[in-house]
Structure 1
Amino acid sequence: MHSILKIFNGKIITPYRIIANGTIVVSEGKIREVKEGNIEVPDALEIDTAGKYIAPGFIDIHIHGGGGHDFMDGNADAFLKIAETHAQYGTTSMVPTTLTSEKEDLFQTLASYEQAKKQNSKGAKLLGMHLEGPYFALNQRGAQDPRYIRNPDPNEYKDVLARSSSILRWSAAPELPGAIEFGKYIRSKGILAAVAHTDAIYEDVLEAFENGYSLATHLYSAMNGVTRRNAFRYAGTVEAAFLIDEMDVEIIADGVHLPAPLLKLVYKIKGPGRTALITDAMRAAGMPPGDSILGPLKNGLKVIVEDGVAKLPDRTSFAGSVATADRLVRNMINLAGVPLPEAIQMITSTPARIMGVEKNKGSLLPGKDADIVIFDDQITIDTTIVNGNIVYSRELAAV
């Protein structure tokens, strides 16, 4: 590890412009300079990007696994291997996400996170945990285990939060009895409340937003759109997320969960400043197609991976994403027609703001963490740098 790193001869994507022939200087894990031209930096380790793009590291705020591992496997090694796997695809920060489970399995996962964070040096940075469930609408459960789905219980969620200080966000269905109180409580603890796996209509979501729910979890997936009740039409969760201008959304931009027209629609209505790209990846991300397991190895759901997505064995439904961050960016450009800088914004500065880490991450500015990714015109990752350390090099990986 060198104390000074110089990255030059690249197209630097800043929040304001693309610097056509730029240099970034990194010192002690922080960005020291971002300048045009090839500047002299004595005693630096030099990376000549040969005209490639230099961007902020990708931030994945909703991810379950990769490389054959799942965060619910119940051990620190799974966290570390997933972080290393996704670093190969440009991810420099991630928010590990749980599945609905038995309480003891949740506590084991939180304990494993604490262990892994102490050893987290070779892959993407672990920012904190995202609890997805168990407070969901049963008929919008998706691949979540129905045995553990229930209404919010103050004794339960207060106990969970008393045991762990690593929870950054918690997703729930806001129409459930007790869900508004739940949202208020977790926001009082500085935890992001998100709408997910829900049958809520516009009025439910608006009340939830007014009481702290500020993000729609994997928009369109496991939530209703326009619905009918006693012959009357009601706007659903999807429409509510569009109508509430200040509500953020995240989307699985794998091109399968959301096809091109829906990617275009989300971009048109919410824009890059309110839309975060997420992988929502399961253990099969970064692995060959074939049989896999969604959730923990000991009692997870058997799935088959084909056509770039995980499906139930009978192929009646999707069962999870196998996306990687580079694929999300590529799809927003190629399928949705989004300009490169805005596609990058959706996986860097926007998720950084949503998770409250924008002071240190999400853009290439002096003083911020040196989380940097280098890629070509096809968004093929060349180098991934976390806190100034090279954690992935395509050239070295090919040796």
Structure 2
Amino acid sequence: MRQKIVNGILLTPYRAIQGGTIVIDEGQIVGVHEGSVEVPNAVEIDAKGQFVAPGFIDIHVHGGGGFDFMDGTEEAFLKIAELHARYGTTALVPTTLTAEKEDLLKTLDVYETAHRNNTKGASFLGMHLEGPYFALSQRGAQDPRYIRNPDPVEYEEILKHSSSIVRWSAAPELEGAIAFGQRLRQKGIIAAIAHTDALYDEVLLAYENGYSLVTHLYSAMSGVTRRNAFRYAGVIESAFLLDLDVEIIGDGIHLPPPLLKLVYKIKGADRIALITDAMRAAGMPEGESTLGSLKNGLKVIVEDGVAKLPDRTAFAGSVATMNRLVRNMVQLADVPLLEAVRMASTTPARIMGVDHRKGSLAKGKDADIVLFDQDFTVGMTMVQGKVIYSLLSGPSRSLAI
């Protein structure tokens, strides 16, 4: 089936095209045009003056809509995918929490079934294991009962069990973490630095041995520290100095506007991936919730637009959605719209190795497309040519860049 999207502002990798047309055939973009074009027998989608952008790609998300991937059910996976599609996400990487090996294996098994049956939500790009190989001192809201050093016997069993793991986050200063990073690189799995007290030399060694990404920059990691009167650079400074990709929770809370501006100024849009790191309360009313599995997860409080530990001493996860992150980068960090969209699409696609088919409005790419207005309210989400969410019956709104 041929489709064409008309009467929108197309946000391509290089420029915005007023009144452009996107032509879609069999789930792929086959043309991006500056004006109106005739497409015989095509189903026409009127963007009604909204922005037309590549679908958002969330490479670190735990849940939403009242569900968490650690619930270990197919329903949880599918409902989370549907919830985030309402906010412009067209592809995501389901993320675990620190847990027992058996729970991780079960979650990986459920992913396989959910991946096959996922037709109504954002598509899945593979699994992200966040932990359990972390520094206890930087655990954040991760359950300390399950935190441990990398164990070759354990992680080899997990790697053998599932081929769906695409990234794994760990603290590189732990005993065995360098060999772990090397093993992940051999398997083509992204090794990410997370929940860590590493110093610069340890980060540099990790970078040389497979670690290429920094998980939620600034959150649960070391900065400049003083030991015996001498100062040492931590993970934050190392991320700025080395050629590492970084992801940021751009909810304006985990990172306030000055830090959003600083990261953008130093790393630029081509090295930053916006992530929600959302837990089950995303898209839900504020109040009590659970981080992780309902069976043995951590009770949290959602207020002020973020999840907190019950004693309010630390954040316990985000409730952000991708459209909110893009809006924040534009409105709070003064980032140009095209650059903000790039951090939510093109850059995460490149990090995950899927930029040959996703992440931009270009001929030959999957028709993963989101429409949103000047308030960043999503009007339509399309995954591989299939409209899975739409508000286009609403009134037309004239926008200006």
**TM tier relative to shorter chain:** over 0.9
Distance in 2 separating the partners of 1:234 and 1:27:
55
The amino acid that maps onto 1:261 is: P
**1:4 matches 2:2:** yes
- Is the aligned partner of 1:266 residue 2:263? yes
Amino acid at match of 2:325: L
Look up the match of 1:278: 275
Question: What does residue 314 of structure 2 align with?
Answer: 317
- Structure 1: distance between partners of 2:106 and 2:393: 35
Partner of 2:344: 347
Q: CA deviation at 1:220?
A: 0.2
Q: Matches of 2:63 and 2:386 in 1, distance apart?
A: 23
Q: CA deviation at 1:395?
A: 4.2
| Segments of 4+ moved more than 6 angstroms | none
- Aligned residue number for residue 186 of structure 2: 188
Residue equivalent to 1:332 = 329
Q: Residue 298 of structure 2 aligns with which residue?
A: 301
Give per-residue Cα distances to partners, 1:301-332, cap 9 Å, x unaligned.
11111100001122121111000000000000
Q: Give me the whole-angstrom Cα distance separating, in 1, the residues matched to 2:393 and 2:215.
A: 36
Instruction: Work out which of the residue numbers 383, 390, 395 in structure 2 matches 1:393.
Output: 390
Give the letter aligned to residue 352 of structure 2. Answer: M
Of residues 134, 137, 153 in structure 2, which corresponds to 1:136? 134
Residue 33 of structure 2 aligns to a residue whose secondary structure is: strand
**Normalized against structure 1, the TM-score is what?**
0.98
- The one-letter code of the counterpart of 2:110 is S
The alpha carbon displacement at 1:355 in A equals 0.5
Matched letter for residue 321 of structure 1: S
Larger CA deviation: 108-117 vs 32-41: 32-41
Amino acid across the alignment from 2:28: K
3-state SS of paired residue (1:41): coil
Q: Deviations over 1:70-92 (max 9, x none)?
A: 00001111000000000000000
CA distance in 1, matches of 2:52, 2:332: 22
1:379 CA drift (Å): 1.0
Q: Distance in 2 between matches of 1:52 and 1:327?
A: 16
**Distance in 1 (alpha carbons) for counterparts of 2:393 and 2:63:** 24
Q: Name the residue aligned to 2:73.
A: 75
Amino acid at match of 1:86: H
State the partner residue of 1:290. 287
- The residue identity in structure 2 corresponding to 1:93 is A
User: Partner amino acid for 2:85?
Assistant: A
Helix, strand or coil for the counterpart of 1:116? helix
Matches of 2:59 and 2:205, distance apart in 1: 24
**Partners of 2:118 and 2:111 in 1: CA distance:** 10
For structure 1, the 5+ residue unaligned runs are: none
Contact 2:149/2:175 (CA < 8 Å) preserved in 1?
yes
- 1:154 is aligned with what amino acid? P
Matching residue of 2:399: none
Query: C-alpha distance in 2, partners of 1:43/1:394?
Result: 24
* CA deviation vs aligned residue, 1:146-195 (integer Å, no higher than 9, x gap): 01101100111011000000000000000001100000001100000000
Matches within 5 A, 1:1-399: 3-244=1-242, 246-395=243-392
Q: State the alpha-carbon separation in 1 of the partners of residues 57 and 14 from structure 2.
A: 19
Shift of 1:352: 0.4
Partners of 2:309 and 2:315 within 8 A in 1: yes
Could you tell me which amino acid in structure 2 is paired with residue 229 of structure 1? Answer: R
How far off is 1:397 after superposition? 10
CA distance in 1, matches of 2:318, 2:3: 35
1:396 deviates by: 6.4
Asked if the contact 2:133/2:171 (under 8 Å) is kept, the reply is: yes
Q: Per the alignment, in what secondary structure is the counterpart of residue 326 of structure 2?
A: helix
SS where residue 170 of structure 1 aligns?
Answer: strand
User: RMSD over aligned Cα, in angstroms?
Assistant: 1.0
Are the counterparts in 1 of residues 47 and 392 from structure 2 also a CA contact under 8 Å? no
CA distance in 2, matches of 1:293, 1:68: 9
User: Percent identity, aligned pairs only?
Assistant: 70
How many residues of Structure 1 are paired with residues of Structure 2 in the alignment? 395
* CA distance in structure 2 between the partners assigned to 1:354 and 1:74 by the alignment: 27
Instruction: List per-residue Cα deviations over 1:317-370 (Å, max 9, x = no partner).
Output: 111100000000000000000000000000100000000000000001111100
- When normalised by structure 2's length, the TM-score is 0.97
Shift in alpha-carbon separation, 1:64–1:396, aligned structure 2, 3 A: farther
Long gaps (5+) in structure 2: 396-401
Amino acid at match of 2:164: S
Structure 1 counterpart SS, 2:270: coil
Partner of 2:180, secondary structure, is helix
Instruction: Name the CA distance, whole Å, in 1 between partners of 2:278 and 2:136.
Output: 22
Q: Contact between 2:62 and 2:68, CA under 8 Å: does it hold in 1?
A: yes
- State the Cα deviation string for residues 230-257 of structure 1 (Å, max 9, x = none): 111000000000001x210000000000
In 2 relative to 1, CA 397–37 (structure 1 residues): closer, same or farther, beyond 3 Å? closer
